[in-house]
A and B are shown apart, each in its own frame.
Chain A
């Protein structure tokens, strides 16, 4: 019978799942990993909850680093941010190969388990990159730059290093309204991620006096920089899918 180890939807949670499944010594083909609370219970399987502890996650991380190298570590981390329900098991399958082969594993896309991890990585990276491009900040009356996103994958932590370079002298917040998570950056300092109990804090953030002015200036520019003779909504759609637009200044008020 299959034993399914369930874990929380987080990097640490998944690593703990990997740990417990591996240490159970039931054999790789007899175990699988699943996220908690997905509601997809399988018949003829035994469910075990992976106990979460930082020590365990640390140990697995160390093992990956040692046996499979840095690149594999990073890929596992990014895959853990994916929005795919099967990500935990896919990470496990990848690690089974990675521990056997070593650092070369990351190039071996001919192996399906490696390709799956690569594919999840790519979509996480793509979304982080898109949001680095598309996130819009509004300046609040207290001078904080406030940006809201609603990503499929949990990418705000991947966006933070970019903005902490670029907007180093600013106080800013990027808020993931789907997960109620935020990265918060203090001017001249570092950044941290925080979970927020609700989004009542948003009501306290009023726009600065010139926010409206720059929003309309930006809309004007956005409209006028397009060449009318080359109008191509389809192409615009491909590069800037509708799901990003509700968060973007230049599409505010546009009928969908």
Chain B
């Protein structure tokens, strides 16, 4: 392994931001914290994006690795031991300085700190902990911090780090144990789920007012309010590196939301950075459209009251390339439509293609005060070119439409096929906004807002 000494900060930053960029789980949402006198920073519940990179993704946090040296050799990873790439490591002081100075200039919302495994998981976690400890206590940083928990690290270290971080995450990476075994033999599912459970338990205890136990740190005098991972935890799954289908992916995501109280599951289209016989070839580039569909479906789980089993099944295990999951579902359930805009309850409105969380809320608020018509629905953000097939207003459809699956599918497909084509075609894909098309438009987080448009969610 080539480790360069005497590397300047610019070179390190280039290497260690390169090495961190494949991690999609980088958001600044989930906790609202006011500024404190004498300290730097605050956080916004919805998160804040500060810039957009050339790949169109939002830049919210200073996303870096502590080091890209790693004792492991996961096949999909650019930092694996067997790769001959320049290696670097920050010092805690360098990270603090970068974070504070970037933050002050409003470049970033905070720090996202991950790392390759240096010597051992404990040693790595210890260095990461020391870094965020310095940032909180010595620099007085009150902005957002997201830290990775390193699987296999001592729970005490993870617990201590959680008291300084806003969000923590452990990446599942591959949705099934078999997938993990084939591509990341040094990781196993139990080692990943262990810290996830620990963080979940810690958060739950915190919510009941119990601060997780752990040695108080020597010299900890700065009045940092001890809270355990207040913005919750997230994880990431790689899409398309292993043969799992969409149904398996979504079922795993659903289980993580239910059983581990995750705030977010991120999906990351596999980028083939290593030439490895066990990795799929992907001649068409990263499976962006599939990633996009998974994000759409994930939203349906989190905000629209859908379950994985409603959207997919063993016999229908993959999303339709040409139709978004909500349209696809609606077409298979025409018996539930059309829905009446004047009277349908909120949950029913949400299931109409073309109606999002915001427009559903506006409809419910506006109809209390008076009657609606299609023009009014449009002003409220309903995307009529989809909704017309599924909606009546005042007992009437906008124009007569046969409730016929093939007919409606053909109408919707005209538009969807173009979109799907655009997103699947590298270099030519259009910006595809789930907000503009009214498919998904709650405003949970700023990153959601933009990533949705990207096809990330």
Contacts and interface: CB of A to CB of B under 8 A. Distances in A.
A110 B22 contact: no
Contacts of B107: 136, 218, 249-250
A142 interface: no
Nearest to A230: B55
Contacts of A188: 37-38
Contacts of B14: 220, 224
Contacts of B450: 239
B57 A229 contact: no
A99 interface: no
Determine the interface band of chain B, counting residues with CB < 8 A from chain A: 35 or more
Contacts of B368: 104, 107
A24 interface: no
B214 to A, nearest CB: 29
B158 interface: no
B49 interface: yes
Contacts of A231: 54-55, 427
Contacts of B41: 166
Interface in B263-288: 269, 271, 285-286, 288
A248 B106 CA distance: 10
Contact of B369 (A107, A169, A222, A236): A107
Contacts of B453: 235, 238-239
Interface in B341-391: 362, 365-366, 368-373, 376, 379-380
B101 A210 contact: yes
Contacts of A134: 50-51
Contact of B370 (A108, A216, A226): A108
A40 interface: no
Given A110-B366, A145-B105, A169-B40, A226 B58 contact: no
A139 B40 CA distance: 15
Contacts of A206: none
B431 interface: yes
B396 interface: no
A147 B51 contact: no
B48 interface: yes
B51 A248 contact: yes
A217 interface: yes
A135 interface: yes
A125 to B, nearest CB: 11
Contacts of A193: none
B125 interface: no
Interface string B63-84: 1100000000000000000000
Interface in B289-346: none
A169 B49 contact: no
Contact of A235 (B20, B56, B373): B56
Contacts of A198: none
A170 interface: yes
Contacts of B22: 227
B98 interface: yes
B58 A217 contact: no
Nearest to B427: A231
Given A222-B53, A230-B286, A232-B429, A110 B376 contact: yes
A62 B286 CA distance: 58
Interface of A: 101, 104, 107-110, 115, 132-139, 145, 147, 163-170, 188, 210, 214, 216-218, 220-240, 248-250
Given A169-B37, A228-B55, A232-B55, 20 more contacts: A107-B365, A108-B369, A115-B379, A137-B105, A165-B35, A214-B105, A217-B13, A224-B18, A225-B21, A225-B53, A226-B55, A227-B57, A229-B285, A230-B269, A230-B271, A232-B56, A235-B454, A238-B431, A239-B450, A250-B107
5 contacts: A164-B35, A223-B54, A225-B63, A233-B54, A235-B52
